[in-house]
Amino acid sequence: MPATMLKMPGALSEAVFRGVMDLAAAVHVVEAGVIAFMCRARGCTPVHTLGWMLITLLIGYGGMHGLKVQTRRRDQATAKLRANKAS
């Protein structure tokens, strides 16, 4: 942290702040690993898997939620196409 930063009463110490940031980074790395397994289970291509991993690494759970929404839409569209072919 910059030495010129103002000290605020009740503010976290630099060590606590750094610890929180390190923990957040570690959680994002774990989430990116989980998303790789989720992509594989959903049949994503390697390129899409890498993209989802990068998104999740940057924004965390929002990337996981996005993958769930996109694959749900894909599955619904596929089911609709199959239903139209059957009729």
pLDDT tens profile 1-58: 455 555 656 666 788 888 888 998 899 899 999 999 999 998 999 999 999 999 988 8
Q: Provide long-range contacts, Cβ within 8 A and 24+ apart, for 32-37.
A: 32/56, 32/57, 32/63, 34/64, 35/63, 35/64, 35/67
pLDDT at 46: 95
0.85 surpassed by pTM? no
CB contact at 8 A, 67 and 42: yes
